[in-house]
Chains A and B, each alone.
Chain A
């Protein structure tokens, strides 16, 4: 128990030193960071104060990511760590922390979009699609009138912002981790959109430029 989270080692507001009143106690303990990396899943459980559990993720590769504007979540593979606001070293060593930007595999989201709106998303021109995908996109051909009406109504809201659509064409979407992998053992997050996406794209560009 070397790391301690006590207050009595610090000075007072007036600047005066505090005399040590007691030794380090167990309830003041701190544990070393998890530094969870990108890789095949490895999670250790820790027994915490009160007998509760914390799931220390040491290696993770999948997470549950949500697409805010469409209000859906899908479990996807994480491919690479792109940006970390605190430390470039964490990007280099591919460390997963809350609020780092990762690239995730976009196929589950594309599959959902094409099934929900029956229109292609991020498909390059001239690339042939497999039979299953063709069936999903063209299901409107043999549909009943009522079904067609439903999908026509959905088509009104089917537009995706251009910056995001570009990412879908490469099947790699940028997302931000919003869970704490060293505490809950999961790496969940949300797909970057709008101003946030613009901000991080700009940051990535200047980093690549350097």
Chain B
């Protein structure tokens, strides 16, 4: 229905056009419309900046009209014959749209002229009536055999295609909306008219439907992406921090979040496969000695101070190794708990190893693919960093901060990269600094060794003082407190880029902490060995107690004696639980120390500086205490070593991972808060390296180091005889053998035995080494090829650049020769020309076009396709209709930026 209406209107407006053409040259309808709608003097249009463009491409709609009919015949002589009429009608539709706008505007104002025009219209309409059937019959004239030859049909088809293309690419054109609308309507009308005639009745509706679906699809994708971002926990918090403190601080929090994810998986593994089955299906508390608090500890077992030390009821709970029974299967599911315990312990390490290595690999991949963008660091920051979507003032503030920070980061990088420096002095200073630091490390190592030795002596003595008992811990925390700042002071000598400096600092503190960790482990091992040596005697005592209890005289033999209460059974010390408790305590105390340090060192200091600054004799904020900076290296290493503790301890204390998950969760919130509330950004905000592979590398090292002691205890220490899932076995891994023997068919057992043969294992290991060597060499050669390709691209770019500069000069000269109607127009044209391909032919074409500018394009707008290439006239309008072939719609910008620009100009 609307089509009909439009058609009618088309008739109407055609009439108007005819009248106007025959009469005086139409007053430029842009200005007319504009003045009708918005009667400001500025609205005159063309003089404005943007007005200049329409005037160039769709030339003065007003004055050159009279010229057009004259020009048309020369341009398209008989070739178009019949078609001209149709073209004209189509072109008239162009003006129809325009007119329609006019009409609306003017009707609103209730002016007289339109009415008169309308009357004239009627007349014209009648005058034109006969044409319509003719043209329609013309269109379908194929069957009628009137006058439409194959050739013409093909041409119409072509035009329809062209129009369709125009419709499809309409949104690519930098035209003002009014022009787009008229063009679109014209094209649509054309397509509608002739497509029907050519037998393809689909059109607008399908197109509209497709557009609708495309829009819906885009919206869906966008929503999905939003949803995904919302699903990332703490993304906003971290972005917030990143925008104020730079990516280096944010990298710590990202690392923390990653760690939280890993721990969550470990937690799920351990809880789902070990703790929950034990709680649900295992023997309840108090049924057997290992699940009962001994009589001697019973009265204090619920005291807070005892519980705080993980003694008492907590020690005899499913959180620790000792609670588990060595029953092969538990519950109605016949769940093989000892086997599950062992496999979970192994898979905790397996999963961690896999995830660390995988994320390292993906980080490297990401960093190599991004390497190309280094060319435009600053330009991208400047032109694409603002997110135009931001509609919230708070977000905008953050964005401003983050842009400033990122600029500063890049500036630091830049200054570092072209810093002129005295190489010899720097080298000397670096060697000196490293020497000093190695001295520090050796000194602290010796100190720890000395203290440990002394503590072993103390442990043999009776009544030692509190200090002597805790000497090792005190010395270690003192070292941990004072060495990092010392290192940092020394590192100032080295004058590294802060990012590299951070890595050095991390490595050094890592070495210090390692000493810390290993002394702790050695002490623990000593303890374990002591307990193991006592075990034999304890075993005998237990045995004898039970024996005496059952065989003691003075009891009625007819009644079977009730079993000894589990709390009264003497038991061994269960070194596994002791180790687990040790790790548990360490984790908790580490957490508390971290929190208290943050509270005192950062928050209270910030409060003090902030509020005492009003009444202090010097400027506290700028002067000595100032605010704290966020200590990236310390925090990262704290996290890494804490994770090492978890890995080591989780085998002996399955509950440890749960505690660690809580710890990471709280520290995420707490540290985020502390950073935002009481820290200041670093003096030189620097960008984190793109991949935090350094953190990952350290983590991998710690994982390996924490794997060693656990593997050692599993493989070579006998488990306690009366606690834990492996009690009664010679070694812990015997549970595997047992399962294979009892639960698998015999041939499988044989296969496993065969596989465990050293004759097979050693070749397998050799094979793996070979594979590693091969893959390594392949990756090296690939990366070399990659680097070469990159170099080639770089070289190409250079050539392109120099080429363009030559061309740019040439075009500049050309444009000076060209006649200028007004200066704006000229620059616009020059711009246009620069867009074209460097072929001299096309250049001359554009020149040509420019020269004939007003005339040619006016004719084209009055005839068929107004060929207003606003920007880059990749084809000149004069030549296009003649050739009559659908020219490839090369996008001008593509051609400018693409390969053609590199083509040598002839």
Q: Do A and B bind each other?
A: no
B positions within 8 Å CB-CB of A: none
Seen from chain A, the residues whose Cβ lies within 8 Å of a Cβ on chain B are none
